[in-house]
Amino acid sequence: MWDKEKRIMEKHIEASDSRQNDLIFFFINVYRVLGWNWLIINLCGIKSRFLPVICKS
């Protein structure tokens, strides 16, 4: 009984988080392929207004 309820909850959580997880996995894959410096440089170029702390450091 408990296992069944747990599985239903996990499916519900997965469904609600899938869009956010896709974004996280996208960034992880970019990081793996191109490296952290490339990711920061591009984020600073695209979203410099939103990431002043990262871009300054």
- The predicted structure's pLDDT at residue 46: 63
For residue range 1-55, list pLDDT tens digits in order: 577 777 766 776 666 666 777 877 887 787 777 777 776 777 666 655 555 555 5
The two tokens of residue 46 are 């695209």
CB–CB of 52/44 below 8 Å? no
Number of domains in the chain: 1
For residue 52, the enclosing domain spans 2-56
For residue range 19-32, list pLDDT tens digits in order: 777 877 887 787 77
pTM above 0.85, yes or no: no
